[in-house]
């Protein structure tokens, strides 16, 4: 038996949230607590349970749905059965409430950034053999409700598929992910409208973490149905970095370049808007203003390693619409600005600086400042105020 937990105290400040002056937030506090128990009955049976409490105080307009407040609930509770295959091979069957995270968490993530993390109810099969890992899932997302022990299974949505990771043949430092994921949503909302969505995704990822040159390239294609129309969507993402270990502060210079499709015609029942499924909560930034649907972005950055385990990261993110006939979505694939009133492509840009201090093994302190410079699309389609964002948090894990 082992016990553990986490406490995170966070402050956020927005000026002109979602590029509008109403409401104008002056700042608010977020708290998150986890406690877990991990029980191993020999080598073949494991029982894991985790409760969470996520609280919000002082936000104008109250907590945002699903991500700010969940007073107390079961976040994870699953049973593992290890079938005990010989050698370095294993096959584990997991059933119950659980977190899911695959690859670089562009598509399936625990949603770490927001106050309330994402979990799923269902089944998972995990096969491991040397450098090969294959996971199969059949799940439904958990509803995140506000009050005590009221989180049920969301029967209006389903997530299933298989995800594999293995070294690229003939190499020792380059890895490959291949996957298929299926998604069902009873009431999916896009700029085009609301309808039943069944979406299939196939993707591939090639990645390398070894210095000095690291990379992370991913491509994904989607098809299925949206109401009476067909889905055809896609995305390509890249992250390339070079670390200069011989220079002071060991700088890493990097460039991210990403693109995801948008809808071609809101009056045509066919849909081309990419759906990122269940992405990480801070996809581009902790402010979560823009999500990975109908966008083009270029993001240069530099990372410096200062004394006393302090890391400084500065970046400048630039955003455009991929399709001029679709709008802008947030991280939850919720439409925040329609694209039917302007033909402007450029959304805006956001410089950001982040300090992260690993005080010791259990304690981390983070501070971030970002300023979103609204571009022609935002100014032409509605309120287009620049946004100031500040957040800082301290987390303790044990």
Q: Report the CATH number at residue 190.
A: 2.40.160.100
Contact residues for 4 (Cβ-Cβ < 8 A; gap 6+): 35, 36, 38, 397, 398
Question: If you ran DSSP here, which 8-state letter would residue 74 be given?
Answer: E
| 0.85 surpassed by pTM | yes
Contact predicate 190/273, CB 8 Å: yes
Task: State residue 331's pLDDT score.
Answer: 84
φ/ψ region of 165 (left if φ > 0, alpha if ψ in -120 to 50, else beta) reads beta
Range of the domain at 110: 2-397
Res 333: pLDDT: 86
DSSP bridge pairs for 180: 162, 202
Specify the pLDDT at position 85. 87
Q: What is the pLDDT of residue 61?
A: 85
- pLDDT tens per residue, the chain (398 residues)? 999 999 999 999 999 999 997 767 689 999 999 999 999 999 999 999 999 999 999 998 889 889 999 999 999 999 999 998 888 899 999 999 999 999 999 999 999 989 999 999 999 999 999 889 999 999 999 999 999 999 999 999 999 999 999 998 877 789 999 999 999 999 999 999 999 999 999 999 999 999 999 999 999 999 999 999 999 999 999 999 999 999 999 999 999 999 999 999 999 999 999 999 999 888 999 999 999 999 999 999 999 999 999 999 999 999 999 999 999 999 888 999 998 889 999 999 999 999 999 999 999 999 999 999 999 999 999 899 999 999 999 999 99
Q: Are 391 and 368 in contact (CB under 8 A)?
A: yes
**Distance separating alpha carbons of residues 263 and 243, to the nearest angstrom:** 38
pLDDT of residue 138: 98
Q: Provide the pLDDT for residue 22.
A: 74
CB-facing half-sphere around the CA of 282: CA atoms within 13 A: 11
Model pLDDT, residue 188: 94
Instruction: Name beta bridge partners: 51.
Output: 35, 74
Q: What are the Cα distances from residue 111, in Å, to 108, 281, 331?
A: 9, 4, 10
φ/ψ (deg, to 5) at 230: -100, 150
pLDDT of the residue at 221: 98
Say how far apart CA 99 and CA 75 lie, in whole Å. 8
Q: What is the 8-class DSSP label of residue 376? A: H
The conformational region for residue 263 under phi > 0 = left, psi -120 to 50 = alpha, else beta, is beta
> What is the total count of domains within the chain?
1
Preceding amide of 241 cis, omega within 30: no
Tokens representing residue 197 in the block? 């969505």
């Amino acid at each position: 038996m082992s016990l553990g937990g986490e406490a995170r105290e966070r402050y956020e400040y927005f000026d002109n949230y979602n590029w509008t002056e109403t409401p104008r937030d002056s700042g608010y506090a977020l708290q998150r607590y986890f406690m877990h128990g991990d029980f191993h009955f020999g080598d073949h049976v494991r029982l894991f349970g985790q409760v969470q409490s996520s609280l919000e105080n002082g936000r104008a307009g109250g907590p945002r749905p699903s991500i700010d407040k969940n007073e107390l609930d079961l976040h994870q509770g699953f049973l593992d059965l290890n079938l005990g295959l010989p050698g370095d091979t294993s096959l584990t069957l997991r059933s119950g409430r659980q977190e899911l995270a695959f690859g670089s968490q562009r598509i399936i993530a625990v949603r770490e950034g927001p106050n309330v993390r994402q979990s799923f109810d269902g089944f998972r099969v995990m096969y491991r053999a040397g450098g090969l890992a294959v996971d199969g899932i059949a799940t439904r997302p958990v509803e995140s409700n506000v009050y005590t022990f009221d989180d049920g299974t969301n029967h209006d949505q389903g997530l299933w598929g298989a995800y594999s990771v293995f070294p690229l043949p003939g190499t020792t430092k380059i890895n490959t992910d291949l996957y298929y994921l299926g998604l069902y949503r009873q009431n999916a909302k896009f700029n085009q409208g609301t309808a039943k969505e069944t979406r299939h995704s196939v993707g591939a990822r090639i990645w390398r973490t070894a210095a000095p040159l690291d990379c992370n390239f991913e491509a994904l294609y989607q098809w299925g149905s949206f109401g009476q129309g067909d889905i055809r969507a896609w995305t390509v993402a890249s992250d390339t970095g070079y670390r200069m270990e011989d220079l002071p502060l060991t700088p890493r210079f990097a460039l991210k370049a990403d693109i995801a499709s948008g809808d071609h015609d809101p009056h045509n029942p066919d849909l081309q808007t990419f759906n990122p499924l269940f992405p990480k909560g801070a996809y581009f930034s902790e402010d979560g203003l823009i999500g990975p649907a109908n966008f083009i972005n270029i993001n240069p950055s530099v990372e410096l390693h200062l004394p006393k385990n302090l890391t400084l990261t500065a970046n400048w993110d630039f955003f455009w619409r991929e399709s001029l006939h679709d709008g802008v979505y947030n991280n939850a694939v919720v439409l925040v600005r329609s694209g039917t009133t302007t033909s402007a492509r450029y959304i805006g840009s956001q410089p950001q600086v982040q300090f992260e201090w690993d005080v010791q093994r259990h304690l981390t302190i983070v501070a971030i400042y970002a300023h979103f410079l609204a571009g022609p699309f935002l100014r032409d389609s509605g309120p287009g105020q620049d946004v100031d964002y500040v957040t800082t948090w301290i987390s303790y894990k044990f």
